[in-house]
């Protein structure tokens, strides 16, 4: 979720951007708002709502209201309530933009409740969703074959850095242990860690 409140005469190099999310002491975010006065705010609905309720973040001058991954944001009733409450705090005269790669028929009407006569843009060519020069491959494997194949690929490929996504915290921890045992320098980041731990690990990547 992002909010823009920018003077049209303001140069891009003068923009101040702030990011707010849970897991960080809210006082840090309150101090940032007080001292930096950002033009662009990006954050999770829960933290944005907390800052507005405490009167630390004013939305009265918002000109652009953006919801990324709007299907995920609005499928959850709790998150939808947060987004709705935040939306009501913004001016009526603003631009609303919503983005999603997987917008279902059920959620589309919900999105439209936030907009007036919206223009819908579809990317119907999958090639347009891929970065130029990026080559993608996939391998169909059984669960038992994955570790061995990953090891083989890491041995064979010339790479600088690799990011591996898995479906659970346990799988992340197990794979990290395996990679270290196979002499691949590895770090593991997952939701079971505090925000401080995750930030420290990312800085080592």
Q: Rounded to two decimals, what is the model's pTM?
A: 0.66
Query: CA-CA distance, 162 to 160, in Å (whole number)?
Result: 7
Per DSSP, what are the bridge partners of residue 64? Answer: 4, 95
7, pLDDT greater than 50? no
- pLDDT score of 4: 60
- pLDDT score of 110: 92
Query: CA-CA distance, 109 to 94, in Å (whole number)?
Result: 20
Query: CA-CA distance, 188 to 132, in Å (whole number)?
Result: 29
Intrachain domains 2-113 and 144-204 with the same fold: yes
The pLDDT tens digits for 90-120 are: 999 999 999 998 888 889 999 999 998 898 8
The pLDDT tens digits for 149-177 are: 999 999 998 888 899 999 899 999 999 99
The pLDDT tens digits for 46-57 are: 999 999 999 999
Q: If phi over 0 gives left and psi between -120 and 50 gives alpha, with beta otherwise, what is residue 37?
A: left
Kindly calculate the radius of gyration of the chain based on its CA atoms and give it in whole angstroms: 21
Q: Please, what CATH class does the domain formed by 144-204 belong to?
A: alpha beta
Domain chopping of the chain, boundaries: 2-113, 144-204
Cα 97 vs. chain centroid, distance in angstroms? 15
What's the mean per-residue pLDDT of the chain?
Answer: 87
Give me the architecture of the 2-113 domain, per CATH.
Answer: 3-Layer(aba) Sandwich (3.40)
Angle at 170 between CA 164 and CA 172, to 5 degrees: 15
């Amino acid at each position: 979720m992002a909010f823009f409140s920018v003077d049209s005469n303001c140069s891009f190099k003068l923009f101040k951007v702030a990011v707010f999310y849970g897991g960080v002491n809210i006082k840090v975010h309150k101090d940032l708002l007080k001292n930096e006065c950002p033009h662009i705010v990006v954050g999770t609905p829960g933290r944005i709502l907390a800052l507005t309720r405490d009167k630390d973040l004013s939305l009265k001058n918002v000109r652009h209201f953006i919801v990324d991954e709007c299907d995920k944001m609005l499928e959850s009733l709790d998150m939808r309530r947060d987004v709705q409450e935040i939306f009501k705090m913004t001016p009526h005269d603003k631009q609303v933009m919503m983005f999603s790669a997987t917008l279902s028929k059920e959620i589309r009407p919900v999105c439209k409740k936030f907009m007036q006569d919206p223009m819908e843009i579809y990317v119907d060519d999958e090639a347009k969703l891929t970065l130029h020069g990026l080559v993608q491959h996939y391998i169909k494997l059984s669960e038992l074959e994955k570790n061995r194949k990953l090891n083989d690929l890491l041995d064979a490929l010339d790479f600088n850095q690799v990011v591996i996504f898995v479906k659970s915290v346990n799988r992340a921890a197990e794979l990290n242990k395996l990679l270290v045992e196979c002499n691949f320098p590895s770090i593991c980041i997952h939701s079971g860690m505090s925000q401080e731990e995750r930030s420290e690990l990312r800085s080592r990547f």
